[in-house]
Chain A
């Protein structure tokens, strides 16, 4: 039953001007699950936080590539956001609300807290010097049973 219904991949340079591009693209992909406006806003915000982290902390504003993979499996949206940046030294510490390694420029340290509150599951994998991958999952519950039948893979709309 839980088979892959759709998949997309996105790669872009680590420029903060791509944050809007990334969250809007992921939201457009997620729209197939017929989310509510609130669910869509949650997804956009979580993606924005993860992409900001990749650009600001992963690559430290140097040039790199941010990769996003989106999947729809059953009624679940799975978004992976990966960078080949410096990696996170202490993941548990990074997840603490208000913790930031860059308190200059008014960084709030709320990125992971927002991801964890707005998505159902957040998994962080990181290797120092190799990179970081954040995997976020969210079930979109707003379907009727009839819609779920239509979620089976079809080549077009």
Chain B
């Protein structure tokens, strides 16, 4: 996981760089929460461009970050998901509350 904060836009981009499952999710969760609480963004974008695999551990990850961001007054969007990740997210119903966007890879 890498992240970059754009102060002028109060935008935090969290770029996920690994396969997301029960094994990897705990570390991602810790790092993402740290970045959200440290920067207090208005918007958090999770960039899935480099994610090749995600199971239901990713659902919990996104819902959990959505709750925290929401509490701190930020919105959450997810970017660049592939078809199989979209399928997992659709089943969970969270796409009703979280917007999917396509974006240029702003986080470097």
A-to-B contact residues, CB < 8 Å: 16-17, 19-20, 23, 38, 41-42, 44-45, 48-49, 52, 55-56, 97, 105-108, 110-111, 113-114, 117-118
Q: Which of B22, B61, B91 contacts A110 (CB 8 A)?
A: B91
The number of residues on chain B lying at the interface, defined by a beta carbon within 8 Å of a beta carbon of chain A, is 22
| Distance in angstroms between the alpha carbons of A105 and B61 in the assembled complex | 9
B57 interfacial contact with A, CB 8 Å: yes
| Contact status A110-B23, CB under 8 Å | no
B43 interfacial contact with A, CB 8 Å: no
B83 interfacial contact with A, CB 8 Å: yes
Majority secondary structure of chain B interface residues (helix, strand, loop or mixed): helix
Given contacts A108-B56, A110-B91, contact A19 B23 (CB under 8 A): yes
| Distance in angstroms between the alpha carbons of A41 and B64 in the assembled complex | 24
| Contact status A52-B57, CB under 8 Å | yes
Given contacts A42-B84, A106-B63, contact A114 B56 (CB under 8 A): yes
| Contact status B23-A106, CB under 8 Å | no
Given contacts A44-B53, A52-B55, A108-B92, contact A19 B22 (CB under 8 A): yes
Q: Which residues of A contact B23 (CB under 8 A)?
A: 16-17, 19-20
* Residue of B with least CB distance to A103: B60
Q: Which residues of A contact B64 (CB under 8 A)?
A: 106
Q: Which of A17, A52, A117 contacts B91 (CB 8 A)?
A: A117
Q: Which of A38, A55, A110 contacts B92 (CB 8 A)?
A: A110
B49 interfacial contact with A, CB 8 Å: no
| Contact status A55-B63, CB under 8 Å | no
| Contact status B60-A107, CB under 8 Å | yes
| Contact status A110-B56, CB under 8 Å | yes
Q: Which residues of B contact A113 (CB under 8 A)?
A: 91
**Distance between A22 CB and nearest chain B CB, rounded to angstroms:** 10
| Distance in angstroms between the alpha carbons of A49 and B87 in the assembled complex | 14
Interface 1/0 per residue, B70-93 and A, CB below 8 Å: 000000000000011001100110
